Amino acid sequence: MRSSRSVVDARRIKVLKLLEDSGFVKVNQLAQQMGVSPLTIRRDLDALLDNGKIDRFYGGASLFKQNNGREENIFSSGFTRNKLAIARYAAAQVEDGDTIFINTSSTALAILPYITAKQVTVITNNVKAASSDRRDDMILVFTGGELRFPKEAMVGDFALNNLKQVTASKCFLGCNGITAEEGITTAVLQEATINNLMLTRVTGPRFILADKSKIGRRLNFIYGRLQEITRLITDTEAPQPLLEELRKKIDVVQVEPLKTLASM
């Protein structure tokens, strides 16, 4: 039986607190201390890495990640609480029987444990979806393709050709940046082509998930225009002047960050 979201979040908070105390941890030591498998700990560390909370090294992890010369961790940034709040809202938009696209965004992946709708099919190029907590009746369909690390993203012609054979009723896509002038952008060319195809092969609503750090930010590769978006889901800490510019062109919903991770 898969662990509940609150149990997983509580364990990851413990990992971060241990990192705060010691500066680094080893996978095998954490697994023994917490009574779980090394694979479970690796999944926890992968999730924390995706959210920008830690650095990984062979066999373990360290707490701080340099960001423009400034050290940040979960206790100062709050980004995880923002992302999970966005994911919870997004999951509520999924209905029984939906087929949805999600991409390699950590926020998009985070919606899976919160989906309560029945018989949902998820089409994704995110290998990490296989180890995500989810309903037992959820069907996962992977695009296949060349596996790109460290995000474990499936990309390339094989993935694109497979996506061309399907459509989805909704999509929930993350991004590295979104602006009123340029639209939706990402840092990786290979992922931009996949994201664009997902965005265009949807018969219903198209949701973009972007926490406060993505608003007003522009990366190298545009994968979608604002007119292609049904709704932007972000948090209440996002810069309001930039959101006002976006609201002139698209529907924007802001959600309150979680008070604590364990509250989910």
pTM score, whole prediction:
0.73
Question: What pLDDT score does 2 carry?
Answer: 52
The topology under which CATH files domain 5-67 is Arc Repressor Mutant, subunit A (1.10.10)
Report the C-alpha gap between 75 and 125 in whole angstroms: 31
Structure-model confidence comparison of residues 92 and 23, the more confident one: 92
Cis peptide before 150 (omega within 30 of 0): yes
Residue 200 pLDDT more than 70? yes
Question: What pLDDT score does 76 carry?
Answer: 36
Of 92-96, 225-229, 255-259, which range is least confident?
255-259
Question: What pLDDT score does 262 carry?
Answer: 47
Exposure string of 244-256, with b = 16+ CB inside 10 Å and e = fewer, is eebeeebebebbe
Residue ranges per structural domain of the chain: 5-67, 79-257
At 257, list the tokens.
Answer: 């960050």
Largest CA distance in the chain: 53
Question: What pLDDT score does 65 carry?
Answer: 45
- Work out the average pLDDT over 123-147: 95
Residue 123 pLDDT more than 50? yes
Topology agreement, domain 5-67 and domain 79-257: no
Structure-model confidence comparison of residues 151 and 197, the more confident one: 197
What would the pLDDT profile of 229-263 be if each residue is shown by its tens digit?
A: 999 999 999 999 999 999 999 999 999 998 765 44
Class of domain 79-257: alpha beta
